[in-house]
Amino acid sequence: MRPGHAVAPRSDDGWGVLSYLLTGVFLWGGLGWLGDDLLGTAFLLPVGLVLGAALAVYTVYVRFGRDPLSTPECGTRPEAQEGRR
C-alpha cells in the first residue's frame, strides 16, 4: 500500500462495534445483577453497567479507532526498511 492512501473501513465494522458495546454492558451488568442477587446489595448492577460500558468503549477504541496507516506492520522496524525503496 502506498503512503498517503486511506483504507476504507470494512462494511462489517459497525456490527463489530455494536457487538462489543452490547456485550460489555450485558456481561458486566449481568455480573453486577448476579452479585446483587447473591449478596443482597443494590449497587453492583449500576456499577457493572457503567463499568461494562466504559470497558466496551475502550475496547472499541483499541480495536477500531486506530489509523491503520499510523501503526507499523508486524515484524517490521523502520530502521530495517531504510535500504528498501
Averaged pLDDT of the chain: 82
Q: Where are the alpha helices (DSSP H) in the chain?
A: 13-39, 44-64
Mean pLDDT for 62-77 is 68
Band of pLDDT at residue 12, cut at 50, 70 and 90:
confident
What distance in Å separates the CA atoms of residue 35 and residue 45, rounded to the nearest whole number? Answer: 8
SS3 (DSSP) at 81 = helix
- The radius of gyration of the chain from alpha carbons, rounded to an integer in Å, stands at 20
Question: For the whole model, what pTM was predicted?
Answer: 0.66
Band of pLDDT at residue 7, cut at 50, 70 and 90:
low
| Closest-CA residue to 23 (of 60, 61, 63) | 60
